[in-house]
């Protein structure tokens, strides 16, 4: 059984591919100096000095958000939007990506950031950093996916066990700040072998929310990012 679980933990990640920044990204910026990944225990703050998460919770993730100059959704301050969601995608063999959407009087804004990750997992600079207003069709697609995505409820013990990380694969992290309530969800390899992996690791899968709607929500955000990620590099 131990060997079987190990196989599923590693099976979700495809072999390292040549996923490169899109040929025609909306905007490319010159490479900048960014913090190198630490041992996962150092807490980084957002550009305003606010914590990204509760103390020591998600410390490893803060290095990527800080390098992307992303704001905290956990500690939003008084001037943050009424509504905000962020999808942080950390793949073993590809560059880290963040897609954040928030409300404004004019409509929904989307910011997409992609930073370069070297083979030794150090961060080498910003590849894509764009911010724009969603058009009517994009807004409709976003709100339709958002309505069905179960973002509000915290992860239960069963979900934390089933969604725990493996060796090679990808973390799919969803943050939301809606109606003054913050929530963070963290699933491993949402695209591949989800049901099989869940049934292998937990006895009662009925306690796991509909991850297919979360997957659809994430894929919608990727479409809105205009990064043109190859299908084989989604894992």
Cα 4 versus chain centre, distance: 27
The mean per-residue pLDDT over the stretch 170-181 comes to 91
Residue 60, classified by CB atoms within 10 Å of its CB into exposed (0-12), middle (13-18) or buried (19+), is middle
Q: Give the pLDDT confidence score for residue 98 in this predicted structure.
A: 98
Beta partners for 100?
Answer: 86, 111
The mean per-residue pLDDT over the stretch 22-35 comes to 47
**Are residues 188 and 164 in contact, defined by beta-carbon separation less than 8 angstroms?**
yes
The mean per-residue pLDDT over the stretch 174-190 comes to 90
Q: Give the pLDDT confidence score for residue 204 in this predicted structure.
A: 77
Strands, E assignment, the chain = 83-91, 97-104, 107-117, 123-133, 170-178, 181-188
Q: Rounded distance, CA 134 to CA 69, Å?
A: 21
Q: Poorest-confidence range of 78-92, 127-141, 160-174?
A: 160-174
Other CB atoms within 10 Å distance of the CB of residue 105: 4
Question: What is the tens place of the pLDDT at every residue in 78-129?
Answer: 777 889 999 999 999 999 999 999 999 999 999 999 999 998 888 989 999 9
> pTM score > 0.85 for this model?
no
Query: 3-state DSSP call for residue 137?
Result: helix
Beta partners for 107?
Answer: 104
Closest residue by Cα to residue 169 from 222, 65, 97, 90: 90
Residue 159, classified by CB atoms within 10 Å of its CB into exposed (0-12), middle (13-18) or buried (19+), is buried
Whether 167 has a pLDDT exceeding 50, the answer reads yes
The whole-chain average pLDDT of the chain stands at 82
Closest residue by Cα to residue 228 from 19, 20, 22, 18: 22
Whether 55 has a pLDDT exceeding 80, the answer reads no
Q: Give the pLDDT confidence score for residue 198 in this predicted structure.
A: 64
Whether 31 has a pLDDT exceeding 50, the answer reads no
Whether 67 has a pLDDT exceeding 80, the answer reads yes
Closest residue by Cα to residue 135 from 196, 226, 23, 70: 226
Contacts for 50 with CB less than 8 Å, ≥ 6 apart = 71, 72, 74, 75, 76, 77
Whether 54 has a pLDDT exceeding 90, the answer reads no
Q: Angle between the 211-225 and 136-148 helix axes, to the nearest 10 degrees?
A: 160
């Amino acid at each position: 059984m131990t060997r079987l679980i190990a196989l599923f933990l590693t099976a979700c990640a495809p072999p390292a591919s040549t996923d490169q920044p899109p040929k025609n990204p909306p905007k490319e910026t010159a490479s900048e100096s960014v913090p190198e990944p630490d041992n996962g225990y150092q807490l980084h703050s957002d550009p305003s000095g606010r914590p990204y998460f509760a103390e020591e919770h998600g410390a490893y993730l803060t290095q990527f958000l800080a390098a992307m100059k992303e704001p905290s959704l956990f500690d939003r301050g008084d001037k943050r939007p009424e509504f905000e969601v962020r999808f942080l995608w950390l793949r073993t063999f590809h560059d880290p990506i963040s897609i954040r959407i928030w409300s404004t009087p004019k409509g929904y804004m989307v910011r997409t950031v992609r930073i370069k990750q070297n083979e030794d997992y150090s961060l080498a600079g910003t590849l894509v950093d764009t911010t724009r207003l969603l058009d009517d069709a994009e807004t409709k697609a976003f709100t339709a996916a958002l309505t069905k995505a179960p973002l509000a409820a915290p992860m239960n013990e069963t979900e934390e066990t089933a969604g725990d990380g493996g060796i090679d694969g990808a973390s799919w992290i969803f943050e939301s700040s809606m109606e003054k309530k913050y929530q963070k969800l963290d699933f491993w390899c949402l695209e591949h072998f989800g049901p099989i992996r869940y049934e292998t690791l937990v006895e009662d899968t009925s306690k796991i929310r509909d991850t297919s709607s979360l997957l659809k929500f994430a894929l919608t955000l990727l479409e809105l990012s205009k990064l043109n990620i190859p299908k084989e590099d989604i894992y």
